[in-house]
Amino acid sequence: MTRLLIAGPPGSGKGTQAHRLSEKLGIPEISTGDMFRSHLSDQTPLGNQAKKYLDAGDLVPDHITTAMVRERLQQDDTGNGFLLDGYPRTLSQMENLDGILESSGKTLDAVLEVTADDDEIVRRLLLRSRAEGRSDDTESVIRHRLQLYREETQPVIARYGRRGILVSVDGTADVDHVTASALKGIETVKARTAT
């Protein structure tokens, strides 16, 4: 049983690590970015509401995002843990998540931060935009998403750090190495907080 969050700037390799960790730990991956993109391609009402924010690299308003996460965390497959990717991104989302977990008597085991420097991030995302054609992977939108990450999300990570459950790994290392360091760090934090 592991309840895990994964955070990291766009392009840090967070998505790749999220796939691998959810498989290795046998827990569902809940990516708010993927959920929004699937609503968008299905043209659901939620997708239509979220579209302009995604295209601009802006955060989708909290009431939409938090409702979507709350509902997802109530589904049965999260009974054995989960890996939440891309949420919370702001201090107010962090407070909302605390409330959601508290009301179901759950706590987080660990928060994994995947780090990467800005130049590497921009380089990787421009490559990805050519391969995948994500509409938010243009240079100016990338820089905006990075700035939001620094301003809004880093304070969230710092606060989890003060709670003693943060694990940071270097996302520019070899992919297997990043996964191995992450798993080791998660075990260490779990062992420490269990005592």
Max Cα distance, the chain (Å): 48
Q: Rule CB under 6 A: which of 45-74 touch ligand ADP?
A: 53-54, 57-60, 65
Give the residue with the Cβ less far from ligand ADP, 80 or 154. 154
Length reported for the chain:
195
Taking the complex as a whole, the smallest distance from the CB of residue 187 to ligand ADP amounts, in Å, to: 25
Task: List the alpha helices (DSSP H) in 9-61.
Answer: 14-25, 32-41, 45-56
| Euclidean distance between CA atoms 73 and 75, whole angstroms | 5
Identify each DSSP E strand in the chain by its residue range: 2-7, 29-31, 81-85, 110-115, 166-170
Q: Which residues are catalytic?
A: 14, 89, 128, 134, 145
| Euclidean distance between CA atoms 119 and 80, whole angstroms | 38
Q: Is 100 in the site for ligand ADP (CB under 6 A)?
A: no
The four Cα atoms 168, 170, 171, 177 give a dihedral, to 10 degrees, of: -100
Q: Is 82 in the site for ligand ADP (CB under 6 A)?
A: no
Interface with ligand ADP by CB under 6 A: which range of 18-26, 30-38, 113-121, 157-165? Answer: 30-38
Of positions 5, 30, 36, 68, contacts ligand ADP by CB under 6 A: 36
Taking the complex as a whole, the smallest distance from the CB of residue 17 to ligand ADP amounts, in Å, to: 12
Question: Interface with ligand ADP by CB under 6 A: which residues?
Answer: 10, 32-33, 36, 53-54, 57-60, 65, 86-87, 89, 93, 136, 145
